[in-house]
């Protein structure tokens, strides 16, 4: 029987996550943990890590999906997102969006032939799910032009339907981009001839969190998304509630908690931007010590898939491990920031050491790997298997039958016509008869009746 790994104790979690999860009711602890992970990964865009099975560096890129029925309390995710983003990336973006708007206003008011100053070079981080591919490409290219490097976008929606509705317009269908946005270095490009558009080949990296009802998820993750790999890049968090259960209430943050949250958020901003507004150096996180645990989990799931013949398990296990590794790496990064700065910690939290960090991070990885995999299997496993079976049947080569061999020693045109139709062929009867006569493999014994000849 497989050992079930639980999430570590609230007080053992990294700063910010510790505060949020600590104030969450028991039924929402895991959901609060996952909802906090997503925006924190977006903020930690200078972190680089090496995943054992990847040949190139990775970044902290995760795509979270909060699933719950109507009125199931999904708004807690919006509260967490607001707590982390309002005074950090959103505040920074607000200044830059104002610059963009002022430039557009000037452009509208300018007189004929009046020259304007250069368009402001802004580096917007928080983007709506309704953004067009062109604008997203332009914003990603601006990172390269201003900083000479890439940064992570943050995308949040309280209703996944926004994303689905926007996707009905080809210019805002981000399904393909969301797949490439999961991996650092995977490039996306658009190339238009029009001077009014924007052309570039860029590295778009996105962390996202979408809230959705089950039906909205069914609409968005359609056949193409399931087969194309969108589902394997998500961390699905399902809010299960019993009928008649009261709503889950989060405790308000104390002034002391808010101080510690603000300190850590400011530290994360300082780890991204220097005092002159440029980028801080990349942080190469040392995660090799976790490789043994990662390999053991991936191989164990591979053996389980081989024994069960479960193709969904075999496919889902790989990216489940990748996403879990990134969550664990974020926690390691936050722990190490605490280790460097004692003022970030609350008094009741025990002293951190490298050994205690590794122990906690390892448990977080194992918990998340199982959680992500189980969520995908429960939600899409059966459908994934059905689609694979259907594809295998459709692509299965037909039997290598020879029409001539299927006919009796003596046959007529009607028999040949029936056999042609049975084999799904479209060549006319007269063509086969003519060819076979030329090959001297049949002879006509009477009108429209033929006999095979020995060759």
253 lies in a domain? yes
Task: Specify the pLDDT at position 362.
Answer: 97
Per-residue tokens: 75: 């708004």
Same domain as 76, residue 218: yes
Q: Which domain holds residue 103?
A: 10-286
The answer to whether the CB of 193 falls within 8 A of the CB of 41 is no
Same domain as 282, residue 430: no
Task: Specify the pLDDT at position 190.
Answer: 84
Same domain as 235, residue 109: yes
Q: Is 73 exposed, middle or buried (0-12, 13-18, 19+ CB in 10 A)?
A: buried
CA distance 124 to 95: 10
Task: Specify the pLDDT at position 253.
Answer: 94
Q: Is the pLDDT of residue 397 over 80?
A: no
Per-residue tokens: 424: 């799904």
Q: Could you give the 3-state DSSP secondary structure of residue 14?
A: coil
**Residues 273-293, mean pLDDT to the nearest whole number:** 95
The region of weakest confidence among 144-148, 223-227, 395-399 is: 395-399
H/E run at residue 67: strand 63-67
415 lies in a domain? yes
- Picking from 286, 314, 348, the residue at the C-terminal end of a domain is 286
Same domain as 273, residue 124: yes
Number of domains, the chain:
2
Q: Is the pLDDT of residue 348 over 50?
A: no
Q: How many contiguous H segments (helices) and E segments (strands) does the chain have?
A: 17, 11
189 lies in a domain? yes
Q: Is 105 exposed, middle or buried (0-12, 13-18, 19+ CB in 10 A)?
A: exposed
Helices (H), 171-290: 175-180, 214-220, 223-228, 255-272
- Cα distances from 95 to residues 40, 71, 88, 99, 208, in angstroms, run 21, 35, 12, 7, 22
Task: Specify the pLDDT at position 179.
Answer: 92
354 lies in a domain? no
**Residues 296-311, mean pLDDT to the nearest whole number:** 91
The answer to whether the CB of 140 falls within 8 A of the CB of 203 is yes
Radius of gyration of the chain (CA): 30
Task: Specify the pLDDT at position 71.
Answer: 75
369 lies in a domain? no
- Picking from 286, 303, 335, the residue at the C-terminal end of a domain is 286
Q: Is the pLDDT of residue 345 over 60?
A: no
Helices (H), 60-183: 75-85, 89-109, 133-147, 161-167, 175-180
DSSP per residue, 384-409? HHHHHHHHHHHHSPPP---HHHHS-S
245 lies in a domain? yes
- Picking from 286, 319, 347, the residue at the C-terminal end of a domain is 286
Q: Which of 64, 67, 21 is nearest to 41 (CA)?
A: 64
Q: Is the pLDDT of residue 281 over 90?
A: yes
318 lies in a domain? no
- Cα distances from 257 to residues 19, 60, 75, 176, 254, in angstroms, run 7, 25, 21, 40, 5
The answer to whether the CB of 57 falls within 8 A of the CB of 45 is no
Residue found under tokens 């194309």 = 228
Phi, psi of 197 (to 5 degrees): -105, -165
Give 107's contacts (C-beta < 8 A, 6+ positions apart). Answer: 116
CA distance 26 to 192: 52
**Residues 393-399, mean pLDDT to the nearest whole number:** 65
Per-residue tokens: 254: 């104390």
Task: Specify the pLDDT at position 367.
Answer: 97
Residue found under tokens 């509208």 = 108
3-class SS string, 19-60 = HHHHCCCHHHHHHHHHHHHHHHHHHCCCEEECCCCCCCCECC
Same domain as 407, residue 260: no
CATH (domain of 254): 3.40.50
pLDDT band at 350; cut points 50, 70, 90 = low
Same domain as 410, residue 277: no
Same domain as 270, residue 144: yes
The region of weakest confidence among 13-17, 109-113, 449-453 is: 109-113
441 lies in a domain? yes
For the chain, give the mean pLDDT. Answer: 88
Task: Specify the pLDDT at position 340.
Answer: 82
Task: Specify the pLDDT at position 116.
Answer: 75
């Amino acid at each position: 029987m497989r050992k079930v790994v639980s999430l570590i104790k609230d007080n053992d979690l990294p700063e910010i996550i510790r505060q949020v999860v600590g104030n969450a009711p028991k039924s929402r602890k895991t959901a609060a943990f996952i909802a906090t992970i997503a925006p924190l990964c977006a903020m930690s865009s200078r972190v680089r890590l090496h995943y054992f099975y990847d040949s190139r560096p990775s970044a902290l890129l995760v795509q979270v999906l909060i699933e719950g029925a109507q009125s199931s309390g999904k708004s807690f995710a919006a509260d967490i997102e607001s707590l982390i983003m309002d005074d950090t990336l959103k505040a920074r973006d607000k200044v830059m969006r104002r610059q963009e708007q002022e430039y557009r206003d000037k452009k509208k008011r300018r007189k004929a032939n009046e020259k304007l100053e250069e368009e402001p070079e802004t580096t917007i981080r928080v983007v709506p799910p309704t953004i067009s591919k062109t604008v997203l490409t332009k914003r990603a290219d601006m990172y390269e032009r201003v900083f000479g490097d890439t940064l992570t976008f943050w995308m949040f929606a309280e209703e996944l339907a926004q994303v689905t509705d926007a996707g009905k317009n080809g210019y805002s269908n981000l399904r393909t981009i969301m797949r490439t946005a999961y991996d650092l270095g995977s490039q996306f490009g658009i190339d238009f001839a029009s001077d009014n558009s924007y052309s570039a080949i860029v590295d778009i990296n996105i962390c996202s969190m979408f809230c959705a009802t089950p039906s909205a998820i069914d609409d968005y993750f359609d056949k193409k998304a399931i087969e194309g790999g969108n589902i394997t890049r998500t961390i699905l968090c399902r809010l299960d509630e019993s009928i008649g259960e009261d709503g889950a209430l989060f405790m308000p943050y104390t002034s002391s908690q808010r101080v510690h949250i603000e300190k850590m958020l400011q530290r994360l901003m300082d780890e991204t931007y220097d005092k002159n507004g440029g980028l801080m150096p990349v942080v190469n996180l040392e995660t090799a010590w976790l490789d043994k645990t990662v390999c053991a989990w991936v191989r164990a799931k591979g053996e389980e898939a081989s024994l069960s013949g479960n193709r969904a398990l075999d496919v889902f296990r790989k990216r489940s491990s990748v996403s879990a590794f990134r969550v664990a790496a974020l926690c390691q990064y936050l722990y190490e920031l605490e280790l460097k700065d004692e003022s970030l910690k609350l008094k009741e939290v025990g002293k951190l050491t490298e050994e205690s960090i590794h122990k906690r991070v390892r448990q977080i990885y194992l918990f998340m790997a199982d959680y992500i995999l189980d969520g995908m299997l429960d939600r899409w496993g059966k459908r994934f298997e059905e689609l694979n079976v259907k594809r295998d049947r459709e692509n299965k080569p037909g039997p290598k039958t020879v029409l001539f061999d299927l006919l009796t020693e003596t046959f007529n045109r009607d028999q040949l016509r029936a056999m042609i139709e049975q084999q799904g062929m479209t060549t006319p009867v007269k063509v086969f008869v003519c060819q076979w006569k030329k090959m001297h493999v049949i002879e006509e014994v009477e009108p429209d009746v033929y006999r095979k000849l020995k060759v």
